[in-house]
Amino acid sequence: MQSSFEEKRQFLLKYPKVVLDHMSLRRSFTHEQLRKYRGILTWNLITGNEGIPWNTDMVDEFVDLLFPEDDLYGPDCFSLNRSLPWDSIDFVKRYEHLWDWYNMAANDMLKGECRAYYLDRLMQYDGFKPNPMTFDDLDLDPNDPFVLRMYRIPTRDELEETHKDYHDFLIHHPELAIPEIDWNEFSGEKRMYWTEELIATYEDLWNWERLSNNPTMPWTLSFMQRYQDRLIWKGEETVEEDGWVGVSLNGVGSNEGVAWSTELFDAFHEKLGEYHDILFSKTTTWTLPLLARFIEIWGAGNICLNPAIWHALFTEFDEEENLIGVLDKMLEN
């Protein structure tokens, strides 16, 4: 059942971080709008917003918010923002005491005189060599056949059509399969037509960590309940000598193939812990009730990182009139 416009509006007013973070990161705000909503916008995300037509007047007015002394990430993001007037040497020099010079190596908009000045400035740090890599070096062409083949999760129907015969062979001839298959490797096979029957047939042979990370498993409530004590739900925590906690994003909670629903969420969220990637599941159909349950448990902090959630639920608020109505209401409160 789809939610009405008013239900969505009330949801955003109840959970303002959902709209404020999304818009702070992606909305092409004008100078006047930034001034009007400066008290409610998320400025550490504004620093990475490349849709804003930045100029010196804007940076001067909001300089304390764009380069906060107590924020580790603001200067870094703003120094990499490709929509700043990087072709102006005066602009670069104007804020030279604020830029994150170390990470500017990844900013491919610095060219010519500005790039030369950056390199000269960077060399003032003894022994530091700039990293020549740019963000473009890491890009993957989404239309490349190899990328599509390697990174797209095949649908259940596709797998049944292409691998059903092999699936049936494994079900009916374990005496032939058991000695021939590398079960550790096979547990991670994304091109298999997986069913609960197949899992049960070889239950004690699987590598359950690899199964837990496999997006083409039959991620149904019954399957997850049946094997909840075998599945790996979350990544392992490691504590470094300096106290920094690292977590590997593995397991069911970080599996992009699990189509989370309120039913699955309520049944298993306690197993996931604090670290997970539920937000980035490519198969979840987001609804207001599911998003509300997520926010109640883990907050709204990272929701803006997956624009698919916004596009699934709140596109009406991309329209100026609807968005301004919500932001003005927030200012009143």
Residues of the chain with pLDDT > 90, as a percent, come to 54
Would you say 256 and 217 are in contact if contact means Cβ atoms under 8 Å apart? no
Would you say 171 and 197 are in contact if contact means Cβ atoms under 8 Å apart? yes
Query: Residue 254: its pLDDT value, please?
Result: 86
83: left (phi over 0), alpha (psi -120 to 50) or beta: alpha
For the cut 70, the answer to whether the pLDDT of residue 126 exceeds it is: no
Confidence band for 54, pLDDT divided at 50, 70 and 90: very high
User: Which of 13-17, 119-123, 150-154, 169-173 holds the top average pLDDT?
Assistant: 13-17
Confidence band for 237, pLDDT divided at 50, 70 and 90: low
Query: Residue 152: its pLDDT value, please?
Result: 59
192-236 tens-digit pLDDT: 999 999 999 999 999 999 999 999 999 999 999 999 999 999 876
**What would the mean pLDDT of 74-86 be, rounded to a whole number?**
83
Q: What are phi and psi of 283, to 5 degrees?
A: -115, -5
Q: Is 190 exposed, middle or buried (0-12, 13-18, 19+ CB in 10 A)?
A: middle
Query: Residue 108: its pLDDT value, please?
Result: 82
pTM passes above 0.95: no
Q: Which of 33, 198, 180, 36 is nearest to 49 (CA)?
A: 33
Would you say 289 and 262 are in contact if contact means Cβ atoms under 8 Å apart? yes
Q: Which of 33-42, 133-142, 321-330 has the lowest mean pLDDT?
A: 133-142
Query: Residue 333: its pLDDT value, please?
Result: 82
Would you say 19 and 316 are in contact if contact means Cβ atoms under 8 Å apart? no
For the cut 80, the answer to whether the pLDDT of residue 73 exceeds it is: no
Q: What are phi and psi of 246, to 5 degrees?
A: -110, 145
**How does strand 237-239 pair with strand 245-247?**
antiparallel
